[in-house]
Structure 1
């Protein structure tokens, strides 16, 4: 069987046709609509992400989204820098026990679902408990001093 598959990046218009090599008759024809609904949703998502779904409008939306995210990152850093206390990082105070339990439960669920989050949390925990106490000035700057 000879198989002809389009290689377009716009997944919704991709097609596959199978031919009999002896007679040249079409044996099977399938397109985007013949796929499983989840596969179609993922295909639309990938085409949207790559900027292939609606042409230049899709690419314009992607550029505007990227610019908005950059503006958000920069403006957040500027706002934090202006509001932080002098001489410290400006980390928030330790939350109460009830809030801490809720945050810990949500964090544990997310760490179970996202292994890289779990790994980064382990690295931060090791840094906070084993390395940071050896550098008291840095701990004070990070607002990580513990009451005696």
Structure 2
């Protein structure tokens, strides 16, 4: 028999369940993690143990400062977006398929990675892509 007390308990339980659903944090992966190797375009040598900026967005942020290893390799983490109830469209929070590279004594480079991530990339799980070798052009010397 449904009593007023049982109805109140039921409504409270439904309210708590809804609030848990609304407050449950979800992650959308806007870009994959990326790894690759940087080379000097003139000497054809890897940029070993060199610090610079590599990012999925233009500009220099302290969080984007990386140091290559002794083989010139780098790794950067993808960009995520946190949401709670409604998943946004990829277009509303998306990023262009570009990596921005800025190292001292080298020309800035924008590397486009279109085609390296499958079209089926779901944005609900993280992926990693290997961008391979990226050649950086040294700035003109002042000779």
TM-score, normalised via structure 2 length? 0.24
- Name the structure where helix makes up a greater proportion of residues: 1
Q: Max radius of gyration: which structure?
A: 1
- Name the structure where strand makes up a greater proportion of residues: 2
TM-score, normalised via structure 1 length? 0.24
Greater relative contact order structure (CA < 8 Å, 6+ sep): 2
